[in-house]
Chain A
Amino acid sequence: MTSYDLSASTFSPDGRVFQVEYAMKAVENSSTAIGIRCKDGVVFGVEKLVLSKLYEQGSNKRIFNVDRHVGMAVAGLLADARSLSEVAREEASNFRSNYGHNIPLKYLSERVAMYVHAYTLYSAVRPFGCSFIFGSYDQDDGPQLYMVDPSGISFGYWGCAIGKAKQAAKTEIEKLQMKDMTCRELVKEVAKIIYIVHDEVKDKAFELELSWVGEVTNGKHELVPKDIRVEAEKYAKEKTEDGSSTL
């Protein structure tokens, strides 16, 4: 058992690549990030644990802009995630330079997944220890949501969660009728889910990072404006203080 997990270029007798599985464990140790696709856009929510009171508010972002119309929320080893966000940005930029239009999200997600997968093939490198959720909005294709994990696969979703409380978050997400909701309604629900899955005992303070892209932002991915975020957090706090938390 011990000798099969030393490098990504070795299979175990039962057909697993342990290094990739260990990389996924790194994601599970990170705090939760969720992305939900609704009728007219995509909303991201990240539970950003505040490890020190000395941190500047809003620092250590977990949500990135990949292109004007694409956002990316991450969980796992942040350094890995940041370098991959640069890879995604270059892909999007090269596509636009060659073909003259916005990169379709499915294609971007597949290209980044292919890159991540390459690092699972060799013993000389280690797999990336992060997952990400990509979201975009386009006039013709509508809202799109894709998730890439350390093994290098990408799937399209209506709602997905990554990080330590992903199971609990998934349960909450499944309760929503997201296909009929608008971004404005969804922002409040996303905030509520993050508040629900946050573990008060084990992790103390956290900052809620919210972003969206959709008709409401004219197809531009951006952080949710302060007043809407404050309102969403207020709603989330009310709902969780009710004792309606399902953890």
Chain B
Amino acid sequence: MERHLMDSKIKGVSTGTTILAVTFNGGVIIGSDSRASIGGYYVSSKTINKLIQVHDRIFCCIAGSLADAQAVTKAAKFQISFHSIQMESPPLVKAAASVLKELCYNNKEELQAGFITAGWDRKKGPQVYTVALGGMLLSQPFTIGGSGSTYIYGYADAKYKPDMSKEECLQFATNALALAMGRDNVSGGVAHLVVITEEGVEHVVIPGDKLPKFHDE
């Protein structure tokens, strides 16, 4: 029996995944699961990090082909770092997202990776940008992505509120990841969360058994 998954066309290791980013009052939370799979049958890594730091206050989460995503983020990290040094100031989140977008769009034939860029900058504060597979760039207050995201669109749309506090936002993100990981077989492992504010960057890791449970008995 063939199971059709969102990224079943991807050869090799893919991040059948759940990723999200949510703005709150004063910052942004970016989160992901930690499972990497091959063909949807074999879990090649239970503890992979899908949250890549591209600059002091800017993170990216990756979905799709892991190899493609790593190559693109490596190139983007270099470009953004160089740009920031030339500008003599921290890069705008929009600039970082644009760099990713240019890489994705110009190489769309070869690549199969999508990204969520989130961060904080002095000009516009906390922001979230989606860079889709073909290179579309979109700014949103919050966004979800990856194969697991299909199971939580309803939850996210219903429960998101603008201007949440940090604690409310952490609860929202944790719940969303837990629900997705609970239903999507290619998402799982631990929940990685990064809280980005003007003051700094805080990593939160929630092991699978400590995630909120929803009728799991």
Contact status B98-A107, CB under 8 Å: no
Who on chain B is nearest to A107 by CB? B87
CB contact under 8 A between A98 and B98, given known A104-B87, A107-B86 = yes
CB contact under 8 A between A99 and B123, given known A104-B87, A107-B86, A107-B87 = no
Q: Which of A99, A104, A140 contacts B98 (CB 8 A)?
A: A99
B137 on the A face (CB < 8 A): yes
Produce 1/0 per residue, B82-108, CB < 8 A to A.
Answer: 010011000110110111011000000
A13 on the B face (CB < 8 A): no
Residues of chain A within 8 A (CB-CB) of B101 are: 100
A204 on the B face (CB < 8 A): no
Residues of chain A within 8 A (CB-CB) of B98 are: 98-101
Could you tell me the distance between the alpha carbons of A101 and B92 in the complex, rounded to whole angstroms?
A: 9
Contact status A98-B92, CB under 8 Å: no
Residues of chain B within 8 A (CB-CB) of A98 are: 98-99, 102
CB contact under 8 A between A100 and B123, given known A107-B86, A107-B87 = no
Residues of chain A within 8 A (CB-CB) of B86 are: 107
Within 8 A of A (CB), among B114-165: 123, 137
Q: How many residues of A contact B (CB 8 A)?
A: 8
A177 on the B face (CB < 8 A): no
Produce 1/0 per residue, A85-105, CB < 8 A to B.
Answer: 000000000000111110010
Count chain B CB atoms within 10 A of each CB in A97, A99, A104, A140 and give the residue with the most.
Answer: A99
Closest Cβ of chain A: how far from B86's Cβ, in Å? 7
- Looking at chain B's contact residues, is the secondary structure mostly helix, strand, loop, or mixed? helix
Q: Which of A97, A101, A107, A140 contacts B94 (CB 8 A)?
A: A101
Total of A-B residue pairs, C-beta within 8 Å: 26
Closest Cβ of chain A: how far from B98's Cβ, in Å? 3
Who on chain B is nearest to A139 by CB? B123
Could you tell me the distance between the alpha carbons of A31 and B78 in the complex, rounded to whole angstroms?
A: 45
Residues of chain B within 8 A (CB-CB) of A99 are: 83, 91-92, 94-95, 98-99
Residues of chain B within 8 A (CB-CB) of A140 are: 123
Who on chain A is nearest to B102 by CB? A98
Closest Cβ of chain A: how far from B115's Cβ, in Å? 14
Contact status A101-B95, CB under 8 Å: yes
Who on chain A is nearest to B122 by CB? A140
Could you tell me the distance between the alpha carbons of A222 and B25 in the complex, rounded to whole angstroms?
A: 38
Closest Cβ of chain A: how far from B47's Cβ, in Å? 34
Residues of chain A within 8 A (CB-CB) of B123 are: 140
Could you tell me the distance between the alpha carbons of A140 and B101 in the complex, rounded to whole angstroms?
A: 25
Residues of chain B within 8 A (CB-CB) of A100 are: 92, 94-95, 97-98, 101, 137
Could you tell me the distance between the alpha carbons of A100 and B94 in the complex, rounded to whole angstroms?
A: 6
Closest Cβ of chain A: how far from B129's Cβ, in Å? 9
Residues of chain A within 8 A (CB-CB) of B99 are: 98-99
Which B positions have Cβ atoms within 8 angstroms of A? 83, 86-87, 91-92, 94-95, 97-99, 101-102, 123, 137
A98-B99, A99-B91, A99-B98 known, 4 other contacts, Cβ within 8 Å: A98-B98, A99-B94, A100-B92, A107-B87
CB pairs A–B below 8 angstroms (23 shown): A97-B102, A98-B98, A98-B99, A98-B102, A99-B83, A99-B91, A99-B92, A99-B94, A99-B95, A99-B98, A100-B92, A100-B94, A100-B95, A100-B97, A100-B98, A100-B101, A101-B92, A101-B94, A101-B95, A101-B98, A104-B87, A107-B87, A140-B123
Q: Give the 9 A-B residue pairs with the shortest CB-CB distance, closest first.
A: A100-B98, A99-B95, A100-B94, A99-B98, A140-B123, A101-B94, A98-B102, A100-B95, A107-B87
